[in-house]
Amino acid sequence: MKPTDISAPDYFHKVVDCQWACPAHTPVPEYIRLIAEGRYSDAYMINWRSNVFPGILGRTCDRPCEPACRRGRVEETPVAICRLKRVAADFKDDVKDQMPKLAAKNGKRVAIVGGGPASLAVARDLAPLGYHCTVFDSDPKAGGMMRSQIPKFRLPDSVIDEETGYILDLGIEFKGSHRIDSLKKLLGENYDAIFVGSGAPRGRELELPGGKEAAANIHIGIDWLSSVSFGHTTKIGKRVIVLGGGNTAMDCCRTARRLGGDDVKVIVRSGFEEMKASPWEKEDAIHEDIPILNFMVPVAFVHDNGKLTGVTFQKVKAEYDAKGKRNLVPSGERDQTIDCDDVLVAVGQENAFPWIERDCGVEFDKWNMPKVDPKTMGSTNAKVFFGGDAAFGPKNIIWAVAHGHDAALSIHKLLSGEDINERPLPEVQISSQKMGIHEWSYDNDISSDKRYKVPHRDKVIALKDIRTEVELGYDVKLALGEAQRCLNCDIQTVFTAPLCIECDACVDICPMDCITFTPNEDETDLRQHLKAPSPHHDQALYVADGLKTGRVMVKDEDVCLHCGLCAERCPTGAWDMQKYLIDMTHAGSSCPSKARSAA
């Protein structure tokens, strides 16, 4: 195998599994250490720079970081990264003075359509650089789906107000209750660039027999949630069926429980395991006495002269073809009708761009989606950019933020007269953490604690009021315990072959048998000859040559605890623990691009 080039920014970035998995590449271990130190404001600001909405995401994020967390490969459960983020938001001091200062305007104007996470991320990145940003939203307040679709018992308004406030206070013009009906018209207003972050606002309908007649009691999930959110809807029937298995369905059923639904069921076509909802959201629903029935396909709405009385389901089972593709086929059991007073349909969301004229330079594909470059977020109209659900269909908040950063960078480069396809390299810092012979600037003693549960409010109280937040968040003590579970994967094991005397001390001490000294081979063979099995081929092997015996040092990054014992037991300092910080380039960063540094 070729020796590893550890100077490539991506190599060590991938070792920090959580940060690599985060669309916005939040430096997770760094802020978790700050939480452990009680430096909540600093932890918050690190998050704020990367993901813009720490308090909101700390309650609602889809957490792609957690399935990636190394701890999940070492023991049963990953670190509760998401809820630690909330800790930073909950316990921080006033951070207003740490926010960017109002910038002198540079004379350039950017129109931002929609006031959701992608749009606000763009505004936040651009406003401090002097751009005049105007955000349009059809709702009176900023926040988009975070405000309209996420129930208040998961995300209180106060958190949204605070975090949208930090952004709007940067000198952004927010035009609420102002729907944009025509892109052409907006283009005519001579903005220097336009960002479209209008979301995926249309809930998919379910066209079944009886649907038209019983329409009064059949509601589209996201519309119903937003109607509840703005206080237009305040009650629902006693017996409610929620159709769909995603996170919107989970929000619908739990909301229904709080508006008078005593007997709420979620009914899904697929199996329970394949449901799209996050496992923790399913858990929370079940905890609130909501059964989830699976392998049932709705076939008709039953009504009595237009008054909904139930839904009829066909029972199915999963069959897998030779390619492993799943098909739902009738199980042969009799259809079942389940009585209900209301149905909430949460079977997916769609994009809708009736307001974008097809002749204004923005091209659409055969699925009626705009053609968007996933790197620059640019459309076929050089001035128009997309992000969030509007770009590639429904995803989640953290992806929207990532899109926002990318789009803001493109807009900044465009308006600075640069090529938007040339993306600057991230800024990387790496520095030794050695403080003494066996002392490091981080706590390398590995905690063997199991994942701490986040305390919940008593169910009886929680179900009484739709605005009462269910999760109470970690207290300081629990947060410290959970923070200690982090393996500090950003403190990298860095090997300097010329210093190595091949004494085997690192091999002998490594608790996870990560290190092997062996003759070099190609990767497949090398993985066979390591000290411990190497089942995860997506996890890199760190290979270094230049040893006196002609062998190579191979370290399987897979389950390294970053405990630093290899470096502590190394007599010559060939191993060192070095903190690796990668700053993704946002608009306005000064880091030179690849082309410039080559020039």
Partner 1 sequence: MTYIAKPKFQHPGLPKNDLGYTHRDYEGKISTLCAGCGHDSITASIIEACYELSIEPHRVAKISGIGCSSKTPDYFLGNSHGFNSVHGRMPSVLTGANLANRDLIYLGVSGDGDSASIGFGQFAHSIRRAVNMTYIVENNGVYGLTKGQFSATADRGSKSKKGVTNTDNAIDLVAIALQLGASFVARSFSGDKTQLVPLIAAAIQHKGAAFIDVVSPCVAFNNHAGSTKSFDYVREHNDAVNRLDVITGRDPITVDYAPGTVQVVEQHDGTRLALRKLDADYDPHDRLGAMTFLQKHAAKGQIVTGLLYVDPDSEDLHSHLNTVDTPLNQLGEKTLCPGNNALEKINASLR
CB of 16 to partner 1, least distance (A): 19
Q: Binding to partner 1 by residue 497, rule CB under 8 A?
A: no
- 3-state DSSP call for residue 144? coil
Query: Is residue 549 within the footprint of partner 1 (CB under 8 A)?
Result: yes
Task: Name the one range near partner 1 by CB under 8 A: 103-111, 308-316, 411-419, 499-507.
Answer: 499-507
How many residues at the interface with partner 1, by CB under 8 A? Answer: 35
Q: Is 77 in the site for partner 1 (CB under 8 A)?
A: no
Shorter beta-carbon distance to partner 1: residue 99 or 507: 507
CA-wise closest residue to 420 among 438, 407, 435:
407
> Three-state SS for 272?
coil
Residue from 188, 511, 519, 546 binding partner 1 (CB under 8 A): 511
Supply the minimum distance, in Å, between the C-beta of residue 528 and partner 1. Answer: 13
Is 46 or 510 the residue whose CB approaches partner 1 more closely?
510
Query: Can you tell me which of 304, 363, 513, 525 binds partner 1, judged by CB under 8 A?
Result: 513
CB of 289 to partner 1, least distance (A): 36
Give the span between the Cα atoms of 327 and 333, in whole angstroms. Answer: 17
Taking the least distance from each CB to partner 1, the nearer of 145 and 486 is 486
Name every residue whose Cβ is closer than 8 Å to that of residue 583 and which is 6 or more positions away in sequence. Answer: 426, 427, 428, 429, 589, 591
In angstroms, what CA-CA distances link 304 with 210, 424, 436? Answer: 10, 64, 80
Please tell me the distance from the alpha carbon of residue 404 to that of residue 377, in angstroms, as a whole number.
9
Residues 140, 572, 596, 597: which binds partner 1 (CB under 8 A)? 572
Q: Which is nearer to partner 1, 99 or 497 (CB)?
A: 497
Tell whether residue 551 is a contact of partner 1 (CB under 8 A).
no
Beta carbon nearer to partner 1, 61 or 514: 514
State the minimum distance, in angstroms, from the CB of residue 93 to partner 1.
32
Element (H, E) at 595: helix 594-598
Q: Do the Cβ atoms of 118 and 112 come closer than 8 Å? A: no
Here the tokens at position 540 are: 């890199």
Asked if 75 is part of the footprint of partner 1 (rule: CB under 8 A), the reply reads: yes
Which residue, 465 or 504, has its beta carbon nearer to partner 1? Answer: 504
The two tokens of residue 558 are 């897979």
Which H helix or E strand runs over 369? none
Among 548, 595, 596, 597, binds partner 1 (CB under 8 A): 548
Looking at the Cβ atoms of 351 and 516, the one nearer to partner 1 is: 516
Between CA 243 and CA 249 the distance in angstroms is 7
Is 358 or 548 the residue whose CB approaches partner 1 more closely?
548
Q: Which tokens is 326 given?
A: 């799943």
DSSP state of 165: H
* CB closer to partner 1 out of 456 and 536: 536
Q: What secondary structure letter does DSSP report for 349?
A: E
Residue matched to tokens 């939203």: 137
**HEC readout, 417-475:** CCCCCCCECCEEEEEECEEECCEECCCCCCCCCCCCCCCECCHHHHCCCCCCCCECCCC
Span near partner 1 by CB under 8 A; candidates 56-64, 188-196, 205-213, 562-570: 562-570
Per CB under 8 A, 535 contacts partner 1: yes
Whether 60 contacts 155, CB under 8 Å: yes
CB closer to partner 1 out of 291 and 571 = 571
Separation CA 485–CA 226 (nearest Å): 38
The single residue among 188, 533, 537, 546 that binds partner 1, judged by CB under 8 A, is 533
**d(Cα 190, Cα 181) in Å, to the nearest integer?**
16
Reading the block at residue 46, the tokens are: 């690190």
* Residue 509 binds partner 1 (CB under 8 A): yes
Nearer to partner 1, 377 or 505 (CB): 505
Which is nearer to partner 1, 176 or 571 (by Cβ)?
A: 571
**Residue nearer to partner 1 on the CB measure, 299 or 532:** 532
Tokens of 290: 């909501």
Return all residues near 21 (Cβ < 8 A) that are at least 6 apart: 64, 65, 67, 68
Determine the interface stretch with partner 1 among 95-103, 285-293, 451-459, 506-514 (rule: CB under 8 A). Answer: 506-514
Residues 6+ apart with CB under 8 A from 47: 26, 31, 54, 57, 85, 88, 89
Q: Does 369 engage in binding with partner 1 (CB under 8 A)?
A: no
| Alpha carbons 311 and 297: distance in angstroms, whole number | 10
Cα 516 from Cα 522, distance rounded (Å): 15
Question: Does 504 participate in binding partner 1 (rule CB under 8 A)?
Answer: yes
189 binds partner 1 (CB under 8 A): no
Considering only the stretches 129-137, 233-241, 262-270, 532-540, report the one whose residues sit in contact with partner 1 under the rule CB under 8 A: 532-540
- Count of other CB atoms within 10 angstroms of residue 169: 13
Q: Which is nearer to partner 1, 498 or 571 (CB)?
A: 571
Choices 189-197, 229-237, 415-423, 567-575; region in contact with partner 1 by CB under 8 A: 567-575
Please list every residue from 134 through 153 that binds partner 1, using CB under 8 A.
Answer: none
Quick check: 547 binds partner 1 (CB under 8 A)?
no
CA 106 centroid distance within chain: 32
Question: Which runs of E-coded beta strand occur in 462-572?
Answer: 491-495, 515-518, 541-544, 552-556
Contact between 74 and partner 1 by CB under 8 A: the answer reads yes
CA distance linking residue 116 with residue 111, whole number of Å: 14
For position 561 contacting partner 1 by CB under 8 A, the verdict is yes
Q: 419 to 448, contacts with partner 1 by CB under 8 A?
A: 438-439, 444-446, 448
List the structure tokens of 574. 């060939």
CB of 484 to partner 1, least distance (A): 12
Q: Which of 281, 469, 557, 568 binds partner 1 (CB under 8 A)?
A: 568
Contact footprint for partner 1 (CB under 8 A): 73-75, 438-439, 444-446, 448, 501-505, 507-509, 511-514, 532-533, 535, 548-549, 559, 561, 563, 565, 568-572
